[in-house]
A and B are shown apart, each in its own frame.
Chain A
Amino acid sequence: MRQVRATLVIVNYDGRELLARSVPAALEAARAAGDHVVVVADDGSTDDSIHYLATTHPEVEVLALRHRGFVHACNAAVAAATTEAVVLLNSDVTVASDFLSPLLEDLSLSDVFAVGCKFLNPDGSLTDALGNRTSCQWLHGMLYVHHETDPSRLMETSPQLYANGGGMAFWRERWLSLGGFDPLYRPGYWEDVDIGYRAWGRGLRVLYEPRSVVFHEQGSTMRRVHQRRYVELISAKNAILFAWKNLLDPALFRRTLAAQARWAADDVLIGGLPPRTGALLAALRQLPEAARERAREQRERSASDREILNACGAVL
């Protein structure tokens, strides 16, 4: 099998302390697997991240960007990469030294767009954050993403809905032809679900690779920077936009709109987070943008929503 070269991209924003753990691990993994590159895409950090990298890890390439958020930083880093494969890593993710080879091995299978890692807590226990063997559920007219928490079902390489953006490998060319992460989802959340769904929609596959282990300090990135209420609002807004953009099946789309309208009343019936009405109003502001992206999906999609959802575990 020919050697595939990869760029390991660590996306950083004010994560100097996290880099002290993630960069040495990435460098070790890159060396262990062959001739690979480690790049830190710095999203306009205000701390001394860049100075730290220049003085402590001069072998790491730094892509210094203006602060525009995670989605833009990822897209800029992939566009700047010069290798066939790219591995996106969050700054709060520390990779195991042997994580890279299985990812590149799976990428070489036919029709694979991306491969996701196995996410563990720093103590080696199974993480509760989304990432492991993702699938979806269709419940009361809404699409929910789900991840496997049973360790016995996380033993084999298997198809999944999307690869968590905190630890995913993919072909750079396929990423670019898909258009990368969609800025519709700025500042973050659901962009990885979206690109996975779009890949399935174009006849490509996304895999889960349990041999590629990464350790994830949950909530150390987005939740470190933003208040919980804001994070929940953004996540809910993006879930709404995902449906507006991607659900092309007329019946499923009508059902999801009806469910979203009813969902707003849960602010009072149930309360708590996320702020549902606020999320709907925030999504409304991005409706023209969602319409443009939906039109692109209509042009380029080769698989129906039902085919994608069935392939990814949803019972319709």
Chain B
Amino acid sequence: MSRRGSIAVIISFARRGEEAAIRQAIEHVTRDSPGVQLAAFGTPVSAPVLHSLGIEDVMVLGGAQGAREALRAARARRPELAVVVYSGPGTGGHLKLEALALSLPSARLWRFVPGEMYRMVTRPGLALAVAGKLVQAACCLIAGGLVCSAAWIWLRLAQLLRGGRRARRA
């Protein structure tokens, strides 16, 4: 149970088709903490979706500058609860959202997977998940870099060997 007037920040991608999951998360939050004020992170695209779900206080992340300002605004609200809303089953991916939740000074952290009850998570627990996913992200980036480097080398060599011309201008 939270204090009346305390703030819960909903952290989601709020993409099209995710409205139902966010609505469920809001229901859980308001049932658990009656009187809680809702705020959310959003983008210029997702802000209208969040407004339509009844969240008036949307901090818009847009570009590096916008992200810093939105984060500063969220910290200034001193939210009691941060809720990460996942897009689908499981808690894979979503590193951006988890890192955002971790950066807030919230006393409580929830993870909300659609169709399930919320899961409370400790700050060290979330930090561990974020660290693990950072390693995964680095591996994906390296894999992507290797594949694209191989593509560049192969396609360039093929072009040189065949003596292919570059596209002529019409």
CA distance A271 to B141 in the complex (A): 14
Q: Specify which chain B residues have a CB less than 8 angstroms from the CB of A46 in the assembled complex.
A: none
Q: Tell me the bound Cα distance from A254 to B152 in angstroms.
A: 8
Find out whether the CB atom of B167 lies under 8 angstroms from the CB atom of A304.
yes
29 A-B contacts (beta carbon < 8 Å): A201-B167, A203-B170, A244-B151, A257-B149, A258-B148, A260-B144, A260-B148, A261-B147, A264-B145, A265-B138, A265-B144, A267-B136, A267-B137, A268-B93, A268-B136, A271-B87, A271-B95, A276-B144, A277-B140, A277-B144, A281-B143, A295-B158, A295-B159, A297-B167, A298-B162, A298-B167, A302-B167, A302-B168, A304-B167
Binary B-proximity of A268-294 (CB < 8 A = 1, otherwise 0): 111110001100110110011011101
Task: Classify the interface of chain A: helix, strand, loop or mixed.
Answer: helix
Question: Does B62 interact with chain A (Cβ within 8 Å)?
Answer: no
A interface residue count range (under 10 / 10 to 19 / 20 to 34 / 35 or more): 35 or more
Closest chain A CB from B50 CB (angstroms): 18
Q: Assess whether A283 is in contact with B147, with CB atoms less than 8 Å apart.
A: yes
- Contacts between the two chains (Cβ within 8 Å), count: 127
Q: Does B54 contact A (CB under 8 A)?
A: no
How far apart are the CA atoms of A280 and B151 in the complex, in Å? Answer: 10
**Measuring CB to CB, which residues of chain A are less than 8 angstroms from any residue of chain B?**
201, 203, 244, 248-250, 253-254, 257-258, 260-265, 267-272, 276-277, 280-281, 283-284, 287-288, 290-292, 294-295, 297-299, 301-305, 307
**B170 contacts A303, C-beta separation under 8 Å:** yes
Q: Among the listed A265, A280, A301, which residue makes an inter-chain contact with B168, where contact means beta carbons less than 8 Å apart?
A: A301
- B167 A271 Cβ-Cβ under 8 A: no
Q: What CA separation (Å) do A86 and B144 show in the bound complex?
A: 40
Q: Considering the chains assembled together, what is the distance between the CA atoms of A290 and B95 in angstroms? A: 33
Minimum Cβ distance to chain B for residue A130 (Å): 15
Query: In whole angstroms, what is the CA distance A261 to B148 when docked?
Result: 6
Which A-chain residue is minimally distant from B92 (CB atoms)? A271
B115 at the interface (CB under 8 A from A): no
Closest CB in chain A relative to B131 CB, distance in Å: 12
Q: A298 and B165: CB pair below 8 A?
A: yes
Q: Verify A301–B137 contact, CB threshold 8 A.
A: no
Docked-complex contact A272 and B170, CB < 8 angstroms: no
In the complex, chain B residues whose CB is within 8 Å of the CB of A292? 158
A-B interface, 3 closest residue pairs, ranked by CB to CB distance from nearest: A271-B93, A264-B144, A298-B164
Q: Which residues of B contact A257 (CB under 8 A)?
A: 148-149, 151-152
The interface size bin for chain B is 35 or more
B3 in the interface (beta carbon within 8 A): no
* A249/B140 in contact, CB under 8 A: no
Establish whether residues B147 and A303, one from each chain, have CB atoms under 8 Å apart when the complex forms: no
A261 with B13, Cβ < 8 A, contacts A268-B136, A291-B155, A301-B167 known? no
**CB proximity of A200 to chain B, nearest CB, Å:** 10
Pair A249/B167 contact, Cβ less than 8 Å:
yes
Decide if B4 is an interface residue (CB 8 Å cutoff).
no
CA distance A245 to B155 in the complex (A): 9
Q: Which residue of B lies closest to A288 (CB)?
A: B154
* Contact string against A for B residues 102-129, beta-carbon threshold 8 Å, 1 for contact and 0 otherwise: 0000000000000000000000000000
- How many Å from the CB of B3 to the closest CB on chain A? 33
**Quick one: CB contact mask for B69-107 with A, threshold 8 Å, 1 for yes?**
000000000000000001110001111100000000000
* A270 & B93 in contact (Cβ 8 Å cutoff): yes
Q: Are B159 and A265 in contact (CB under 8 A)?
A: no
Assess the B144–A262 pair: CB atoms within 8 A. Answer: yes
